[in-house]
Amino acid sequence: MAKKPVKYYVVDAFTDLAFKGNPAAVCLLEEDRDEQWLQSVATEFNLSETCYLTRINESSNSPRFRLRWFTPVTEVKLCGHATLASAHILFTTGLVNSDIIEFETLSGILTAKKGPDFKAPPTDVPQIQNGEEHQHCFSIELDFPTVPYTEFSSTEVSAISKALNNAAIVDIKRTTTDGDLLVVLPSWKSVVELQPEIDDIRECAGEGIIATGAAPPESGFDFASRCFFPIAGINEDPVTGSAHCALAPYWSQKLGKCDFMAYQASARGGILSLHLDEKNQRVLLRGKAVTFYNLVSMTVTQSKDAESLKVTRIKKKKTG
């Protein structure tokens, strides 16, 4: 029996502007698909994340879905922007009749809650100004686990500085989950102007580099960041919710506070409102999203040798 066409959406997350934030493909599955299919479709999309939603029919106070995330080359254990994109689609298309959604993931049960709109501070980073504005009356709050980090050996600092084009380094930590390197630079300006050597980052210890720096007080932000994960097939991730699960605890220690406004200073740019729950070791990430492609279906046919997949898209509708 032929497989049913799969409905999917493309959503720009952590922004209220089309063509900004981080795009994710959200695929709604009505039947199981094998690992090769899931990875091959993610490779075909070639976005930083393609995610798959499957409704779970079990008793719960809130709608529950199984959620998996794939980069172009591998499955990952935690992803913020694709979770935000998934919740945005479920809330805006009427697929759920609730203000809270539960997701069953490789990082446990994560929740998304519809919340009030919030006003982001203005920024003088020019990239953020160029997009099509969309009006939203709500934001989405994700409840994620914190990502612990440890000290990092100073013997490799020179190689990391070289990978960041000889940038000055204030501090380095290593996350205990994926081994990402949290590299602190002298300032917001240092982060924005960073010109990394991607091939050198690929050779550094760790899965990727999260570069961050404090924002000037007058900016309205607390810190900026940029994220590079070439081993996962993502040279620079436009906006990385999961990275802020390590950034929030780090900046909480440095700034002595638990609430932050963060800016990810990639070419697309993205804004996150954060709260660190120290007692429960959770990070609440608040953001907005914009649907770019709405109600697109695809059929996937597999070759006889099972080594390649062909994706055919139908019913394409651009809403951005």
- Three-state secondary structure string covering the chain: CCCCCEEEEEEEECCCEECCCEEEEEEECCCCCCHHHHHHHHHHHCCCEEEEEEECCCCCCCCEEEEEEECCCCEECCCHHHHHHHHHHHHHCCCCCCCEEEEEECCEEEEEEEEECCCCCCCCCHHHHCCEECCCCEEEEEEEECCCEEECCHHHHHHHHHHCCCCCCCEEEEECCCCCEEEECCCHHHHHCCCCCHHHHHHCCCCCEEEEEECCHHHCCCEEEEEEEHHHCEEEECCCCCCHHHHHHHHHHHHCCCEEEEEECCCCCEEEEEEEECCCCEEEEEECEEEEEEEEEEEEEECCCCCCEEEEEECCCECC
Of 30, 49, 141, 236, catalytic: 49
Tell me whether residue 75 is one of the annotated catalytic residues. no
- Residues forming the active site: 49
